């Protein structure tokens, strides 16, 4: 790909840039990384509609800031983002079938959503988006978040005990009760390690598998160093 998203879709890019300003979760850097990973996955799936995929990538977190600032917790940025994007694309006179496809991709990109991606473009966006919390990037992002909310560097609490004590319902996917007890290694062990199984494309699973291995090695080394077992 010789162009970047801001060159190919300058109007849409400017809208996204404005909407994501100040948003802690998903910056334009994230969009750019998702795009690069998605293009790798797309290369292994020649039937992909690149126009649909690229517009969906660019717009997928457009409602992220709205979800983050909604204290009622009712805003789902995937659902709202799909609506906002459809409206913008309509105004810019994009064809109706493309709008429908893009909308499906955005609606279904969320990890927790029960709304499954059905089209190949939606599956690629889903996979590329999740891959962005894996590998060295995943480690870096998890420590950035940990620093922001004053988590500890590492927790030695056994996984079973932690899940029972600090996750709602005593389930690995339960909401965290007390963030001060949470750490990147616990985030990795309770949630991130399961991501490769949830992906849809073969190429996505392959990339995710490599990145999970790196994270396992990283957290094992971190534990060793904290224990001075080196």
Which CB sits closer to Fe ion, 104 or 183? 104
34 contacts 132 by C-beta, under 8 angstroms: yes
Asked if 67 is part of the footprint of Fe ion (rule: CB under 5 A), the reply reads no
Which sign does the torsion angle of CA 131, 135, 136, 141 carry? positive
Asked if 129 is part of the footprint of Fe ion (rule: CB under 5 A), the reply reads yes
Which CB sits closer to Fe ion, 41 or 163? 41
Nearest in space to 98 (alpha carbons), one of 59, 57, 53: 53
Torsion (CA) 105, 69, 111, 27 in degrees, nearest 10: 70
Beta strands in the chain (DSSP E): none
DSSP 93: T
Q: x/- contact string, 18-57, with Fe ion (CB under 5 A)?
A: --------x-------------------------------
Query: Binding segment for Fe ion among 8-16, 59-67, 137-145, 161-169 (CB under 5 A)?
Result: 59-67
CB of 140 to Fe ion, least distance (A): 16
Instruction: Report residue 118: phi and psi, to 5°.
Output: -110, -40
Which sign does the torsion angle of CA 72, 78, 80, 85 carry? positive
Number of residues forming the site for Fe ion (CB under 5 A)? 3
49 contacts 100 by C-beta, under 8 angstroms: no
Which CB sits closer to Fe ion, 126 or 162? 126
CB of 38 to Fe ion, least distance (A): 11
Other residues' Cβ atoms within 10 Å of the Cβ of residue 154: 16
Which CB sits closer to Fe ion, 26 or 104? 26
Which CB sits closer to Fe ion, 155 or 187? 187
Asked if 61 is part of the footprint of Fe ion (rule: CB under 5 A), the reply reads yes
Which CB sits closer to Fe ion, 105 or 163? 105
CB of 20 to Fe ion, least distance (A): 10
- The residues of the shown chain that bind Fe ion, judged by CB under 5 A, are 26, 61, 129
């Amino acid at each position: 790909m010789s162009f970047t998203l801001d060159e190919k879709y300058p109007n849409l890019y400017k809208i996204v840039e404005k909407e994501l300003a100040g948003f802690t979760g998903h910056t334009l850097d994230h969009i750019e990384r998702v795009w690069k990973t998605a293009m790798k996955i797309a290369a292994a799936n020649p039937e992909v509609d690149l126009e649909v995929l690229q517009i969906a990538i660019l717009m997928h977190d457009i409602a992220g800031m709205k979800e983050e600032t909604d204290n009622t917790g009712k805003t789902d940025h995937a659902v709202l983002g799909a609506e906002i994007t459809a409206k913008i694309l309509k105004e810019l006179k994009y064809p109706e079938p493309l709008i429908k496809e893009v909308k499906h991709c955005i609606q279904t990109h969320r990890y927790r959503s029960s709304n499954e991606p059905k089209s190949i473009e939606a599956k690629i966006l889903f996979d590329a988006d999740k891959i962005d919390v894996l590998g060295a990037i995943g480690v870096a992002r998890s420590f950035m978040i940990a620093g922001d909310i004053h988590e500890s560097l590492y927790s030695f609490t056994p996984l079973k005990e932690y899940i029972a004590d600090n996750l709602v319902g005593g389930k690995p996917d339960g909401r965290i009760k007390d963030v001060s007890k949470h750490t990147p290694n616990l985030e990795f062990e309770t949630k991130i390690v399961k991501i490769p199984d949830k992906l849809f494309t073969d190429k996505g699973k392959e990339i995710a598998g490599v990145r999970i291995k790196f994270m396992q090695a990283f957290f094992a080394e971190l534990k060793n160093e904290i224990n001075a077992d080196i």
